[in-house]
Amino acid sequence: MTHTADHNGTQQAKEKIRQMRTLPLPLRWIPGAVTVALLLMTLDYLFNLGHLTFITGLETQFYYAVVALLLPLIYLLWPLTPAGQYRPIPWYDYLLSAVTLVVSGYFVINADSILERGWAFAAPDTALWVSYAWWLLIIEAARRAGGWPIAVIVTLFSLYPLVADMMPGPIQAFPSSLSETAMYHTMSTESIMGIPLQAFAGLVIGFLVFGVVLQKSGGGKFFINLAFALLGHVRGGPAKVSIFSSGLMGSMSGSVISNVLTTGVLSIPAMRRIGMSRSFAGGVEACASTGGVLMPPVMGATAFVMAMFLDVPYSAVVLAAIIPSILYFLGLFIQIDAYAARNDIKGLPPVELPSLWQTLKEGWYFIFVFALLVWMLLVMQREAVAPFYATALLLVLNQLSKHNRWGLQDLGDALSSSAKLFAELIAILAGVGMLVGALSMTGLSGTIANDFIHLAGGSIPLLLIMGALTSFVLGIGMTVTAAYIFLAVALAPALIQGGGLDPMAVHLFILYWGMLSFITPPVALGAFAAATVAGARPMSTGLQAMRLGSVIYFIPFLFVLNPALIMQGEPLQIVLVFVQALAGIVLFASAMQGYLIGVGRLGHGAIQETVIRALVMVSGLTLALPGGGMVPLTHVELLGISLAALLPGIARARLSQRHHQRSLTTHL
């Protein structure tokens, strides 16, 4: 059974990693040309240049044009089945790509009429038939780019308005005809053209381009070398390098699996060389890559969609995510350090490591560009245009550098890679937009929150647990962005209205729990991808990742219970709660590996070690838990419980070490 699960996991990871096909030589210019056209349109729209007003003058027309450019690429790049990636493009995919371009182009041309004449509610026959075609093409594009689970969920929800009156009580709603549903999906600003697509067109494009340019210009190599120069020599060094480099790389790419494949090929072999097992090395890389997507300043597409849902600047999401990401990476770092100390695993010899001075000399400008991006995001609050300025500066500085200077082929690769990222995301977001549109059209988005509250019996802790499990399950079958969007509409209002919880905390809670599927078996795609690089058994790698990343399972509950952990509150309160959480995470992570800094190994012998580790773990959890509110204990009471568990645990650990030392001396 385990072998079958491992095999299936490996296959899933491999399919996820390699499912795009290579275009024939005469067509390889198309993705790059699409990226150029998209960037010209986006720059004209965001900077209000006025050169392309025939497309960018009307907001919805610009959104339609974005889809019209990118969606046809799906049928050229993603085959009907995974096996098709190794075969030539069949005639029907050329036809589907052309039809998608024509159908999408129809909406671009008629954007004025759609808006002025209210076609979302009463459209001419031609528009109606084109809407049916677009509906089907988007579902198939979402299936190819995002997989069967997204396609099935989007199909069922997009058809839901047709049978809404026949549904059972809690999900019963006003029905609509097929024509009304098609018009609403394709021509209203609540469905395909809704928040997910608006976030992509207004925010995501620039950050994706910045990430691609940063990687293609050697940014990934620089951050990995910098991490090795700083941390490679310390105990467990390569594993700590993985945290540092994967955190920064994930912050750029926004993709767990591509992050694993970029940094893992260097960090995993280095971890193996210093004596870490294959599954442990893979687990470290999977956890580090997953955390990278949660790390500011660039957190992947989901964070931009979140900003649109909450109607706040993206910088507000970045600030809110800082402390949770620090807590997560600290927990991972402490576990690795404790594992290395307990097993006496050294770092790499300094002679094998890159020079810090040489690394900074060759790539200082990557740090400078990152600093500019953060300054424009947090200080100037120009999130829509910040990545374009950062990318332009990076390209100029890169061309002045003799180490990473681009040629024409490098430029072509960057443009082509960008197009593939854009196309994959637009297919998923357009499909998920219909899910949001169906809930909006039937009015269910307003009533489903009350149903969730009723189901939980008004209990906020139960509602949070339901939310966590729902987010996790949806994260298994869908992309994180798709799962987040569904829950942001269906579940978030229940937590906010029913529990009086902070909106930002609730939305981050959903995002965190959706990410957990990457490191939690039986799916754990991030861990399975790392296992393929490490040559480890996927299921054992998944279990190691789950253990190493265990702190992430309760961090979301901490910031929901006390929004001070997401920078909501008085400065003194934020500092106090943060320091308390830091100490709690250190104790918890140390207990997970059985080694505490300043104390040493937490016991010898199975029973004794279990008791001591349990005491330290309880101490860490109670210290990290914020007092007051839904927690029936104050900060002082929780601190008292924490110390009452910690002090006996440390005393017992010291005693155990002495006994063990004596027994060794006696045997000698």
H runs (alpha helix) in 232-355: 237-253, 256-273, 278-293, 301-310, 314-342
Domain residue ranges in the chain:
11-197, 203-421, 579-668
Residue 506 has what pLDDT? 94
CA gap 506, 503 in Å, rounded: 5
Tally of CB atoms within 10 A around 571: 9
DSSP state of 171: G
Name, in order, each residue with C-beta under 8 angstroms of 144's C-beta and a sequence gap of 6 or more. Answer: 74, 75, 78, 79, 80, 427
Mean pLDDT check: name the lowest of 1-5, 550-554, 559-563, 618-622.
Answer: 1-5
- Residue 9 reports pLDDT greater than 80: no
The pLDDT, as a whole number, for residue 248 is 72
CA torsion 273→276→278→283, rounded to 10°?
Answer: -120
Residue 142, Cβ neighbours under 10 Å: how many? 28
Say what the pLDDT of residue 143 is.
93
278 token code pair: 């294959």
* Residue 17, pLDDT above cutoff 80: no
Higher pLDDT, 359 or 258: 359
Cβ contacts of residue 459 below 8 Å, gap of 6+? Answer: none
Listing DSSP states for 285-320 in one string gives: HHHHHHHHHTSSS---HHHHHHHHHHTS-HHHHHHH
Q: Check pLDDT > 50 for residue 42.
A: yes
The model's pLDDT over 72-124, given as tens digits with 9 standing for 90+, comes to: 999 999 999 887 787 899 999 999 999 999 999 999 999 999 999 999 999 99
Question: What's 596's DSSP letter?
Answer: E
Cβ distance 545 to 530 under 8 Å? yes
Question: What would the pLDDT profile of 137-146 be if each residue is shown by its tens digit?
Answer: 999 999 999 8
Closest alpha carbon to 222 in 361, 318, 62, 82: 361
142-193 pLDDT, tens digit each: 999 988 888 998 999 999 999 998 988 778 888 999 999 999 999 999 999 9
For 292, the token pair is: 């990278």
Q: What is the per-residue pLDDT for 18?
A: 47
**Bigger pLDDT: 294 vs 9:** 294
Model pLDDT, residue 654: 93
Chain segment 444-476, per-residue pLDDT in tens: 876 777 777 777 777 888 888 888 888 887 777
pLDDT tens, position by position, 363-377: 899 999 989 998 998
Which of left, alpha, beta for 313 (phi over 0: left; psi -120 to 50: alpha)?
beta
Which residues pair with residue 595 across a beta bridge? Answer: 601
Q: Read off the tokens for 647.
A: 């002090």
How many Å apart are CA 321 and CA 505, to the nearest integer? Answer: 9
- In this structure, the strands spanning 595-596 and 600-601 are antiparallel
Average pLDDT over residues 484-508: 86
pLDDT of residue 644: 95
pLDDT digits (tens, 9 = 90+) for 373-421: 989 988 888 888 999 999 999 999 999 888 788 988 999 999 999 999 8
CA–CA separation, 395 and 414 (whole Å)? 12
CA atoms 586, 591, 592, 597: torsion sign:
positive
How many angstroms separate the CA atoms of 301 and 252, rounded? Answer: 11
**For position 477, what pLDDT does the model report?**
65
Q: What pLDDT shows up at residue 253?
A: 59
Cis peptide leading into residue 503 (ω within 30°): no
pLDDT band at 16 (very low <50, low <70, confident <90, very high): very low
- Report the amino acid identity of residue 440: S
What is the model's pLDDT at position 254? 61
Place of tokens 């986006």: 42
| CA–CA dist 281, 273 (Å, integer) | 10
The least confident of 216-225, 323-332, 583-592, 609-618 is 216-225
Two tokens at 235?
């105990």
| Section 321-334 average pLDDT | 94
The whole-number pLDDT of residue 251 equals 60
Question: Which pLDDT score, from 0 to 100, does residue 15 have?
Answer: 44
Q: What is the pLDDT of residue 252?
A: 62
How many residues are present in the chain? 668
| Average confidence score pLDDT of the chain | 88
The residue type at 178: L
pLDDT at 523: 75
- pLDDT at residue 250 in the model: 64
* Cβ–Cβ < 8 Å for 222, 363: yes
Give residue 667's pLDDT: 65
- Residue environment code for 453-482, b if the CB has 16+ CB neighbours within 10 A, otherwise e: beebeeebeebbebbbebbbebbbbbbbbb
What confidence category does residue 352 fall into, taking pLDDT thresholds of 50, 70 and 90?
A: confident
pLDDT at 13 over 60: no
Res 651 pLDDT > 90: yes
User: Where is 59: in which H helix or E strand?
Assistant: helix 59-77
pLDDT of residue 460: 81
Residue that the structure tokens 């890559």 belong to = 289
